[in-house]
Amino acid sequence: MNLRKFFAILAGSLLIVTSIFAQQSSRNQLDEDVIRKQLAEIAPKALDDFNAATEALDANDMQKAADLYKSVLKQAPDFAPALRRCGGALVQLGERFDGLEMTKKAVAVERSPENLISHAVTLINSGPSKRQPSDAEINEALSLAKEAVSKGKENDFEYVATLTQLALLAGNAEVFEGSLGLMIVKFPNAPETHYFRSLKYLNDGYFSDAESEISKAEELGFPREATAEIRDIIKAEKSNRFFGLGDLVYVPFALVGVWALGLAALFGAGKFYSRKTLKSIENSDPNDIHGAAQAGLRGAYRKLITIAGLYYYVSQPIVMFLVIAVAAGIILGFVMIGTVPIKIVLVVGFVALATVFFMVKSLVFREKIEDPGRVLNEAEAPELWKIVREVADAIETRPVNEIRLTCGAEVAVYERGGWRAKMQDKAERVLILGAAAIDGFEQNTFRAVLAHEYGHFSNRDTAGGDIAYRVNSDIIRLAESMAKSGTATFYNLAFHFLRFYHFLFRRITHGASRLQEVLADRVAVFHYGADAFKEGLAHVIRRDIEFNAIAGAELAASINAGRKMENMYAMIPQTESISSELEGKFNEALTCETTEDDTHPSPRDRFELADKIASQAAEPLSGKVWDLIPNREALTAELNDELVKGLNAFYYDSV
């Protein structure tokens, strides 16, 4: 703290304060009685002059007071009270040298707190000359005031206030803060306490607090001529700086407020675009195959997803701050009420630290992305590759570079490569073909579904999506880590943030996904007809429901019987009751309504839209998809082994 700068800037005000301390102190009558008794014993005839001199001093009649005190000193030359009071009056009259000699003599007679503080004030009071005290005088006065306060006068407001002022003048931060602390504790409602406190706040950069303290001092009677310069400095400092150093305390909370508004804005934008997408799907021309009318909406959605994805990572340090702040607040609350339950404090501290650790870990360590399933090269299924390339030629887009067989019932595509390669349409294209979906899949309907997937390529849907995948993956990984460590608690703000952001990001990305699916549907229907597309989509949905049921039932049966799991790709629902249940789920899946949480429009809506599209003639194909893959048994056995390993690992990890 550089307190000396206030002496240079506020010299006039500080001297006003000095005179206030010297002249407006109320006299303690008990102390006055003791002084008069001492004088009566030494020089009883001087008592009347002493009383009259004191009355004149209190009435600010310095000349009369000095003359009467001199009369007293002729009769009692070493009477310290008369020496110090006469010295103070002489300084006020401009006779500084004579005044200092008298107060100095009083100290020589007795180093009492009264004599010490009187000489200290006289040293820095220049009287009418407005002379600035020297550094030596200030330091001497500070030393005298410290001695006076140390001799049992710490409860005397005038002494402590004088010590605080002298420490300010000397630039002694340690003494200033110590004496100011004493004033705050013992004299909290004194205007001088608020005055000096404002100087400390101003020096530390807390401009708003400094201004508040000055106002309190003025309300309690502190003269405005002594605070005017303080207000000018505060005004100047505020104009020079956007905020002071002290205002930095509020910056994190301001950032949290702005961050919260950003979340609200993202949520509102997500709902707006989600609803706009649904309306766009309903009102757009179904024969606009490439979605030219939705180009603006798709571009806006792409930007929104990018912003929302980046916002998740920007949110991490803010959430970490809030986690630590909440934990610290809980612990501090216990400390303030005087009870510190060790167990609760340890649990809260562990949850906060573990949460921050997992959040940092999720940002630093990236999950390795592995391609699903196994590659089905062209030598293993040349006829399948032929159809795949024919569909690409029909849609006039690049064919896939790789087909990967997976254990499930999915049919999907993605691009593999860097961001630049994707933007330049040079990334490798991959088709995912679930073995469970192939069973019973007609080549004609498969071709329509494949055209839908190529529609994503031609519409450049797969060129982006990296940030959406990464954010979803990071959210899930972080949530799983918190769940496993036991930190996914109701009082963990980070866990609730993850839940909310996953919901928010899902709403945003799923709205874009629904639009992409509709446009890809148009490509498929235009080239291969609504019937083939609808049958293909229904087949994939049915096989997904059936295979999940088969896998779950076989896992349970094998565990109960203690046997090895059979090849699930060769199984069909075994009983009429199971088939009836699955048929009900299938019908429900086909007829459900589209919601804002869906990645795809409902099959019912997609079927209705497909019927509105005018398609070109395409010669139908006959046969099953498995007919195009010669080594079916070997492939399904291989995939079944992988599936069994995965199911067993999941089951035993869960148990």
| pLDDT above 50: residue 24 | no
Structure tokens at 535: 């049958």
- First-to-final CA distance of the chain: 62
Structure tokens at 341: 């339950």
User: CA-to-CA distance for 499 and 163, rounded, in angstroms?
Assistant: 58
| pLDDT above 60: residue 244 | no
> Which value, to the nearest 10 degrees, does the dihedral of the CA atoms of residues 478, 480, 485, 487 take?
70
Which is more confidently placed, 311 or 290? 311
CB-neighbour burial class of residue 319 (10 A; exposed 0-12, middle 13-18, buried 19+): buried
User: CA-to-CA distance for 111 and 109, rounded, in angstroms?
Assistant: 7
Which is more confidently placed, 194 or 511? 194
Fold for 376-460+509-654, please state it: Zincin-like (3.30.2010)
> What pairs with residue 414 in β-bridges?
430
Confidence of residue 650 (pLDDT cuts 50, 70, 90): low
Instruction: Give per-residue pLDDT as tens, 377-394.
Output: 999 999 999 999 999 999
Residues 6 or more apart whose CB falls under 8 angstroms from that of 45 comprise: 75
Give the ranges where 396-528 is alpha helix by DSSP (H).
419-423, 435-438, 443-458, 466-485, 493-528
pLDDT of the residue at 306: 87
User: CA-to-CA distance for 449 and 436, rounded, in angstroms?
Assistant: 15
Confidence of residue 16 (pLDDT cuts 50, 70, 90): very low
| pLDDT above 60: residue 645 | yes
User: CA-to-CA distance for 186 and 375, rounded, in angstroms?
Assistant: 82
Tell me which range, 249-253, 353-357, 577-581, 646-650, is most confidently predicted by mean pLDDT. 353-357
Percent of the chain with pLDDT over 90: 29
Question: Which residue in 418, 395, 527 sits closest to 466, CA to CA?
Answer: 418
| pLDDT above 80: residue 8 | no
| pLDDT above 90: residue 445 | yes
Sheet of 428-434, strands arranged across: 374-375, 402-406, 428-434, 411-416
Q: What's the average model confidence in pLDDT over 596-605?
A: 86
Tell me which range, 221-225, 329-333, 401-405, is most confidently predicted by mean pLDDT. 401-405
Three-state DSSP state, 426: coil
* Class of domain 4-187 (CATH, top level): mainly alpha
| 560, 516 Cβ separation under 8 angstroms | no
User: CA-to-CA distance for 372 and 406, rounded, in angstroms?
Assistant: 6
DSSP state, residue 45: G
| pLDDT above 90: residue 270 | no
Range scoring the smallest mean pLDDT among 59-63, 111-115, 139-143, 613-617: 613-617
Instruction: Give per-residue pLDDT as tens, 316-332.
Output: 999 998 888 888 888 88
- Alpha carbon 300 to its chain centroid, in Å, reads 27
User: CA-to-CA distance for 262 and 276, rounded, in angstroms?
Assistant: 21
| pLDDT above 90: residue 447 | yes
| pLDDT above 70: residue 604 | yes
CATH 1.25.40.10 domain range(s) in the chain: 4-187
User: CA-to-CA distance for 366 and 361, rounded, in angstroms?
Assistant: 9
CATH 3.30.2010.10 domain range(s) in the chain: 376-460+509-654
CB-neighbour burial class of residue 633 (10 A; exposed 0-12, middle 13-18, buried 19+): exposed
| pLDDT above 60: residue 95 | yes
- H or E element in which residue 428 lies: strand 428-434
Range scoring the smallest mean pLDDT among 245-249, 368-372, 537-541: 245-249
Structure tokens at 596: 């804002």
| Helices and strands: H and E segment counts in the chain | 27, 4
The neighbour count for residue 85, using CB atoms within 10 Å, is: 26
| pLDDT above 60: residue 652 | no
Half-sphere exposure of 256 (CA within 13 A, CB side): 12
Q: What's the average model confidence in pLDDT over 481-491?
A: 86
Which is more confidently placed, 162 or 651? 162
User: CA-to-CA distance for 221 and 224, rounded, in angstroms?
Assistant: 9
